[in-house]
Structure 1
C-alpha cells in the first residue's frame, strides 16, 4: 500500500477534472458523468451549502438514496471541510433519533421520501434541506454558479463521523479525517488491482464507508463506476453484463444470495475478472469462483480504521490475507498475550503511521478507552493464523456463547447451516436457560418459495456439528434487520422462546447428548 499523501479529496477531484475533463467517472440510468461534469456539479452543491449559511467544520447529516447527487454532496462537503454524518436511509424511530441526538448535526440533507420517518420522531430537527421537495431546497444547486471559494482544508482535518456498525450495541460516531477517507480507497486499489479501463459495478449504499471508498478509489485509480440504484440478487449478473463490469464487490451475505440464484447457462458469460470484499468463508469462495469463473480477493477492515487493513492477493481460500504495510496486527488472548499458530485470538491493530490509526469516537471517551490496549485498537473480532502468516476470520468475540461448559462460536455454527440448500440466511443467538448459561436459538430465513421442516434441518445438522453446537430452538424469519454492510443486527432479534420450535419437545437426541 502506497503512502497516503497530503492532497485532499477536494484537491484530488479538481486536479483530475482539470487533467482529464472528458474522462467518464460514472454512469447512471443511461447518463454519462465525466470528471469535468462531476467537478462542476460538486462546486454548484458547494455554493448551495454556503448560501444556506453552512461553514467549515459544521456537522451535516446526510440521508439520501444512492444517486449521483449523493456523490456530488459527499465531494462538496469534503471540499468545504464540513463534517459529513451519514445516516442509513432505512433507519426509523429510536435508532434514527439516537444518531441525530448523539452526533448533533447543524444541518440535515434528506430526501423527502424519508420525511415521515424524520418528522415522526417528535424531536426538534436541525436545519433541514430537502431533496426532491416542492420548494427545490437541495435541487436548487443546479441553478447555482460554481463556488469559487476554496476553504483551507488539511489532510488530517476530521471531515466525517462514520457510525460504527452497531451489531451489538448503539452506534458510535467514528472520527474520520480526509487522510483516512483516502487511505481506504488506496487499500481497495491494492486489493483489486484496478485501474484505467476497468468498470466497477457500483451498488453499495453511500451511507456506508465502503460505498464512499469505492467512489474515491475511482478518482484515485481512474476506473469507471457503473452506478445502480440498489443491489438486486436476481438482476446482479444481468447488470454486470450490461455495464461490462470487470470488478464486483461483496459484503456480508451477498455471495450466498448470488449462489442461491437459479443456475443459468450464461453464468460465466460476463467481463468480470475479480470479486472482492469481506466475509467470504472458504466453502463459498470455492463455489463462487467455480460457478462464475472469477478470481476472489478477500480483505478485512472496520469502521474505526479504514476499508481494509488486510488483503489476500495470493488466493489462499477463506483467508482475509496479511496486514497492509501501514498496519501491524497481533492476535491476543484475554491477558494481551499473543496466541499460538492456529489458535483464535482477538485482532489487535496498530497503525505504523499514527495518522492512519484510530482517532476516537465523537464525545465518547469511555468507549475510546475501552477500545484501546496500549497502542493497539482492539477490534472485538477473532482470527487465527497459519504457518505462513495468513489470517482467518473467526467471528465476533462477543458472539461467543457458553453452553454446558463449552464455548461455542456462533460464526462456526452459522456457516454450517448456511450451506443447507433451502437456507438463505441464518443467525445464532444465546437465550437464557435454567442452567444459567446459554441455550442456542437459530433464526432461519428460507429461500423464496421454500418451506423447511425444522426437524429435518436439525437431523441434517447433526451429521455436521457436534451435539453441543446443535440449536435447541429454531425460529423462521422473513427478513433480518441489517447494518449497511449487510451484517445481521443480532441485538434486534428476539430472545423469547414461547411458541418457538423446541428440540427438547421432540424425541430426537443428537449423538453424544
Structure 2
C-alpha cells in the first residue's frame, strides 16, 4: 500500500520518514544479462564444487525447456517440495524465467496442513524429491499434470529469448502461518523478491567479494532472498542443505564466508557449543537476521568477533522492513528507504515517538509493489491486513527514545517455533480430531534456547481419559516437527471469555501437570 502524501513529516506524531524508492532491474533480466556478460563469474559453491553463472544459466534453460514440453505456461502454479540442492536452485530460477508461479512447500509438512495448502493453491503440477511423492499423492487435490520428480539429466540447450515477466507479475505463493485460521498464501511479485534481496544487501552491508553462508531452506523467504543476492551485488554464496551447530564454524571458516544469517534460536545454539579454534578463525564480518535475544547479543559479538545486524519484516512487505545499522541493543532499527512505519493503538491512534506505549506495527510504502496485493483466494484475510492506512502486520512494537523500532511479538494467536510461525488453529484442529479430545488450546512458552516451545492443553470428552504420551504418539504422523508440542497438559475445563474464546493467558498462569516430550514419559510441575 502506497504512503499517503503528507505523512512524511519527522514530527513525533508521524511515521518515520524514509528516503524514497529504488530502481527495479528485473530478476530475469538481471540474471540473463550477467549470464551473458560474465558466464565464468562464480554464483555459488556447494559440496560438489563451484557453480558459475554460465553453468547455472544452462541448467535453468534446460529445466525451462523441460517444463515447456510438459505443457506449463506463464501463470501456471508449480508446487516445489524439494530440499536445498543445486537442482532446486536451478528449478527456482527456471520457474521465475518462464513466468510461472513458484509455490514453495516445506518438505517437512505433512497431514492436514499440507492438504490445506495444496487444495488452496491447486497447482498445475507438483515437483518433489523422490521420497516425497507418496506424501503429495496422498493429498486430496491432484495436480492436472501430476506429481513428478525431475529427470536425473536433461539435454543441454542454447538459451533463447523468452518473454520476460513484468516486475508486477506474480512470482510466488509463499505460505505464512494463519492465526485465526489455516495458513495463508502470500502473493509475492517479482518486484517484492528483488526488494527482498536489495534489503539484505543493505542490512548485511554487503560488499564486492563477500561470501554469504546459506543454510536456510530455499522454500523460506529467508533463504529465497539470499539466492537472489548475486544478481544485485558482486557476492558469492556458499550453499548447504541444512544447519549443523557442531560443524557450523568449521564450514564457515573453510569456505571463507563473510556473512552468516541468524534466525530464532540460532545464536543461542551456537553459544552453547564448545569453544574451538574456529570461533575466531574465520572471515565473518556480519551476522544478520532477526530474533536475537538481548542477553546473547553482545556475548555473541564478543565471542565470535563480528557484528550483529538485526532486522524486522514479513513476507507480505518484501521480507525486510527495518534494519538496525546503529547497533542499538534490542532494536530492529529504522525503515528501509522504501518504507514508512507507524505504531497504532486499538483505536487507530498513532503512537508518538515520545511514548513508550506498545502498538500494532503498520507499514506504508512509496515504492509501487513493495507491499503485497493480498492473500491468494482469501479476501477476508486480505481485508484485515490491507487497510486504507497501510499494511497492518499484526505485530506489536514500541519506540525507543532514539526513534528506532523495538519489536514485541505477535498480537495474534501464533507461535514462533524452530524458525517457523506455527498457527494455533492448525495444531488445535489436528488435536481435536483425536477420539478422546473434546477441545484443545495451543500456546507458546519461552524455550530454553530462543523463541518458544509449544504447550498443548487438551480437555477430554465425557467419560474419556487422555494419556499425553499416547496422544503425542498419535500426533507425530499428523504434525510437522516444528508443529509438535513440547508440553501436553490435560485439563478438566478451559477458562473462557463471554464469547466463549479460550483465555490462554489464564491457562498459562495456572498450575497444571504437564507432560514433557523431551523427557519421555516424565511429568513435571509447572
The TM-score range, normalised by the shorter chain, is 0.7 to 0.9
CA shift, 1:145, in A, is: 2.0
Q: Which runs of 5+ in 2 are unaligned?
A: 1-18, 416-442, 458-492, 498-502
Partner of 1:321: helix, strand, or coil?
strand
Q: In the TM superposition, what is the alpha-carbon distance from 1:500 to its structure 2 partner?
A: 5.2
Asked if the contact 2:189–2:372 (Cα under 8 Å) also holds between the matched residues in 1, the reply is no
Write the distance in 1 (CA, Å) between the matches of 2:412 and 2:137.
35
Aligned residue pairs: how many? 438
1:295 pairs with 2:317: no
1:16 aligned to 2:34?
A: yes
Residues 56, 80 of structure 1: 8 Å contact kept = yes
Give SS of 1:69's match. helix
Query: Which of 142, 146, 152 does residue 124 from structure 1 map onto?
Result: 142
Mean Cα deviation higher: 317-326 or 366-375:
366-375
Structure 1 window deviating more from structure 2 (98-107 vs 116-125): it is 116-125
Give the Cα separation in 2 of the matches to 1:24 and 1:315: 32
- Aligned partner of 2:488 in structure 1 is none
How many Å apart are 1:169 and its aligned residue? 4.0
SS in structure 2 of the partner of residue 354 of structure 1: coil
> 1:316 is matched with which residue?
328
Structure-2 residue corresponding to 1:229:
241
1:253-299 CA-to-partner distances (Å, cap 9, x unmatched) read: 21111112223344222111110001112212112111111100010
Mapped contact 1:430–1:438 kept (Cα < 8 A): no
Superposed, 1:183-262 pairs within 5 Å as 183-262=195-274
What does residue 427 of structure 1 align with? 453
Q: Cα 1:199–1:429, aligned 2, differ >3 Å: closer, same or farther? A: same
TM-superposed deviation, 1:196 = 2.1
- Unaligned 5+ segments in structure 1 are 132-136, 402-409, 443-467, 480-497, 504-513
Q: Which residue of 2 aligns with 1:485?
A: none
Task: Work out the CA distance in 2 between the residues paired with 1:107 and 1:54.
Answer: 8
Q: Deviations over 1:375-421 (max 9, x none)?
A: 311111111111111111111112599xxxxxxxx88x72xx64xxx
Q: Answer with 116-125 or 77-86: which moved more.
A: 116-125
Alignment of 1:490-505 (within 5 A): 501-503=524-526
Aligned to 1:148: 160
- TM-score, scaled to structure 1: 0.79
Distance 1:167 1:204 in 2: 24
Q: Which among 279, 283, 287 is matched to residue 275 of structure 1?
A: 287
The offset of 1:138, in angstroms, is 3.5
CA-CA distance at 1:81 after TM superposition: 0.8
CA contact (8 A) 1:191 1:313 kept: yes
| 2:358 is the alignment partner of 1:344 | yes
When residues 161 and 425 of structure 1 are mapped into structure 2, their CA distance, relative to the original with a 3 A threshold, is closer
**Structure 1 CA distance, aligned partners of 2:180 and 2:236?**
36
Which whole-Å deviations, capped at 9, do the CAs of 1:101-129 have from their partners, x for residues lacking one?
Answer: 00111111111121121223355344235
Q: CA deviation at 1:209?
A: 1.3
The residue that corresponds to 1:477 in the other structure is 517
Asked if the contact 1:428–1:440 (Cα under 8 Å) also holds between the matched residues in 2, the reply is: no
CA distance in 1, matches of 2:239, 2:384: 39
SS at match of 2:187: strand
Q: Distance in 1 between matches of 2:182 and 2:24?
A: 33
Structure number with higher relative contact order (C-alpha < 8 Å, ≥ 6 residues apart): 2
Query: Residue 230 and residue 2 in structure 1: after superposition, are their counterparts in 2 closer, same or farther (change >3 A)?
Result: farther
Measure the CA separation in 2 of the matches of 1:36 and 1:147: 10
1:69 aligns with 2:82: no
Displacement of 1:428 in angstroms is 6.3
The SS at the match of 1:182 is helix
Q: Contact (CA 8 Å) 2:123, 2:143: kept in 1 or not?
A: no
**Contact preservation (8 Å) 1:281, 1:318:** yes
Task: Give the structure-2-normalised TM-score.
Answer: 0.78
- 1:71 CA drift (Å): 1.1
Matched, 1:51 2:69: yes
1:315-364 alpha-carbon deviations (Å, 9 max, x no partner) = 11111001111111111111111235222111111112232123111111
RMSD: 2.6
Give 3-state SS (helix, strand or coil) of 2:361's partner.
strand
Matched, 1:328 2:351: no
